[in-house]
Amino acid sequence: MDIKITKVFAICLIFSSLLIDINNKFNNVKANVKNSPANKNDLDLYHGMGVSFLCNATRKGFDLNFSKTLSVASATFASVVSQKHGGKIIEGKKEQTIDMKQLQFIASLQLVEAALKVCPDNVPEKIEKQFKIETERLKKLQGL
C-alpha cells in the first residue's frame, strides 16, 4: 500500500515539475515577443465583434441589460487592445499608446452608433439620447 502511495505521489510531483518547466519556457518566449500596435483592420475586427455581441445579447429572447452589455463589450475591446497590442494603435502612420479608459469610452460610443444602425430596436431611448449628447460634446471639444 505504501508503494502505491509513493508511486502516485512521485508521478504527481514529476508531472507538476514538468508543467512548471513548460510554463517557465512559455513565459520566456512570450516575454520576448514585441506586441505590434493595433492597425485599422484589427480595430475594425474588434469593433465588428463588439457590435455583433451587443446586438445578439440584447435582442428579444435574450433581453440582457443594454447598458451592462455595452460595458462588457467596450471593456473587452479595450482589454484586447491592451493585452494583444500593448495598448498601442496605429492612427494614420503614427503609433500611439492610448489610455484604456479613453479607449473604452470611445469604443462605447462607436458601439452605440453601430447598434443604432444594425439593431436600432435593441437600443433604449435613454442610451440613444445620451449618445447624441456625448457626440455633440465631442464635436464641440474638437472644434476648439
Q: Domain spans of the chain?
A: 1-33, 40-139
- Bridge partners (DSSP) of residue 96 are 89
The pTM of this model reads: 0.72
- Rounded-to-integer distance, Cα 44 and Cα 30, Å: 25
- The torsion angle over the Cα atoms of residues 118, 124, 125 and 130, rounded to 10 degrees, is -90
138: CB partners within 8 A, 6+ apart? 109
Predicted pLDDT at 15: 53
What's the DSSP call for residue 97?
E
75: CB partners within 8 A, 6+ apart? 104
Predicted pLDDT at 103: 92
Buried/exposed code over 46-59 (b: 16+ C-beta within 10 A; e: otherwise): bbeebbebbbebbe
pLDDT, tens digit only, all 144 positions of the chain: 556 555 545 555 455 554 555 555 555 545 445 678 999 999 999 999 999 999 999 988 777 899 999 999 999 999 999 999 999 999 888 999 989 999 999 999 999 999 999 999 999 999 999 999 999 998 888 876
